[in-house]
Chains A and B, each alone.
Chain A
Amino acid sequence: MSSILEVKNLCFSYDPNNKDGKYAVHDVSFSVEKGDIIGIIGHTGSGKSTLVQHLNGLLKPTSGEVLLNGKNIWDEPKKIKDVRFKVGLVFQYPEYQLFEETVFEDISFGPKNMGLSGEELTARVNEICEVVGIKKEYYEKSPFDLSGGEKRRVAIAGVMAMRPEVLILDEPIAGLDPKGRRDTVSMIKQYRKAYGATVIIISHNMEDMALLADKLLVMNKGSIEMFDTVYNVFSKYDRLKEIGLAVPAAAEVLRRINEKNSSIRTDIFTTKAAAEYLCAYAAGEKGA
């Protein structure tokens, strides 16, 4: 079996007795292949964040199960900590969880909890910093003296340092400026390339999703609305609109042009690809 992560009929209610029968997550099933990049999109309150907290065992399903490499993560509740090392979860605004005096110490926190120490620990931190491009001169700085974007990257590196097989990030680029965004996205890509890790990203930003993800999981009211390739999900324009989600702006623009001239394609979702297509179209028109 090649699925690294499998979720089966997961239901979750914040009320343990579930008197009112309301679920934050209801009957969710999906599986993730090793090395995939999955994007999760959905409204605020659609259950995205609740869902991902099940994947590393921070929340325990009311019913249903989560399988990591084919094994139910709750088979041995005492070893749930090991699951958290294999499935790294970066919360929204992770820079608020920084607490150590130096960048090096803060990135070491996760590996230390795994039981690493001494040279092994230093080697681990060095390695991850090299992979994601955090320079050595930052090691002794206080994380609180860094810029917003730098803090964010140190916090993410703190989770990456545990070298998780699955890396989950909740809105990793929210609130960053363009440079911070570029750096953060490239660091996620570098991590994936170096370790062949599986990546799951929650985001509101459809453009980034179109650029980054292989498949999109669309959440609506606690259930899965779609789980398909980026192309197929963004092609269901009307349904996305119905549940209050947008398609990337480039696709939206192409649709408007298509209303005027139906020979224009509407199935291009990134700005770059749309620009290339339109230029090629213009050249073709001229040639004809």
Chain B
Amino acid sequence: MSDKQIEIKNVTFSYGDGEEKRNVLENFSLDIERGSFTVILGHNGSGKSTVAKLMNGLYKPSGESGKVLVDGIDTRGSEHEIEIRRKVGMVFQNPDNQLVASVVEEDVAFGPENLGLKREEIRARVDEALKAVGMFEFRKSTPHHLSGGQKQRVAIAGVIVMRPECLILDEPTAMLDPKGRAEVMDIITRFNRENGMTVVLITHFMEEAEPADRVLLLNDGEIISDGKPKEIFSDIETLKKAGLDVPQTTELLFELKQNGMDIDTDAISVEETAARITAALHLEEK
């Protein structure tokens, strides 16, 4: 088996027809390693959602050229659709519009029910998935009474219950408050670290890229940088050019550097930022 979970090869994708036709992606290529945590950063309209939807075959490459392989299976053929969806789970931005049933556990059961698994198996998987996202005690609740973060956790449970190898999340925290964002980020990171799940997180919050192994910066359908989080973060000009939100911590370091201070700008967390400044100002042990 190859160590590539997903391969996008020379794909072009366009919306509309004729005059209205607009290429979102042109000759786009990207490999996702099995077990990796990849963050795709980009502003609204950078093409990042399109990339996500290509990865589980929800969108197919336009035209004849280019292909997307999931575990070596071409997403173009419809005969493998279910198999691909089972391997690559997808979580969207608005938790409200992903939940089907009005009881939490029945919603989580939706996927395995579609797969036609045995009843006992479904039950066991649903309980396991709900425990994994910390929502087991809410299994009899109605989604309508949950907070945004809790709803998104249920949506994640509804996807991991199919035991995918890869989890794609398309701006899962965009509609949540700070508490909900932290809960969801914690769960995503845990799935990658503890269960070895391949994670592709699409976001425009730069700080969410911190736990990633690899960060891709997307602008107008093109990858403009690709590297480890620290490498990407230290190049603030490029980040800003891509229309991204730079965290205040990084912004502070950037301002200091622009004012002539000799300082590294690759930190995101408060601790690291403080440490960089302490070092630059030689404040240690005074």
Chain A: residues with CB nearer than 8 A to chain B?
A: 43-44, 147-148, 175, 177-179, 204, 207, 244, 246, 248-250, 252-253, 256-257, 260-261, 263-264, 271-272, 274-276, 278-279, 281-282, 285
Contact = CB atoms under 8 A, between A and B. Distances in A.
B249 interface: yes
Interface in B259-280: 259-261, 270-271, 273-275, 277-278, 280
B270 A148 contact: no
Contact of A261 (B45, B178, B280, B283): B283
A147 B281 contact: no
A206 to B, nearest CB: 9
Interface residues of B, number: 40
Contact of A178 (B243, B281, B285): B243
A147 B243 CA distance: 14
B178 A246 contact: yes
A99 B179 CA distance: 33
A264 B281 CA distance: 11
A261 B244 CA distance: 33
Contact of B274 (A175, A248, A253, A281): A253
22 contacts: A43-B177, A147-B45, A177-B204, A177-B243, A177-B245, A178-B244, A179-B243, A204-B178, A249-B248, A249-B249, A249-B252, A249-B273, A250-B252, A253-B274, A256-B273, A257-B283, A260-B283, A261-B278, A271-B252, A271-B255, A278-B256, A282-B281
A281 B147 CA distance: 45
Contact of A175 (B174, B244, B284): B174
A16 B247 CA distance: 44
B145 interface: no
B204 A44 contact: no
A13 to B, nearest CB: 19
B251 interface: yes
Contact of B252 (A148, A178, A275): A275
Interface in B20-36: none
Nearest to B277: A257
A283 to B, nearest CB: 9
Contacts of B175: 175
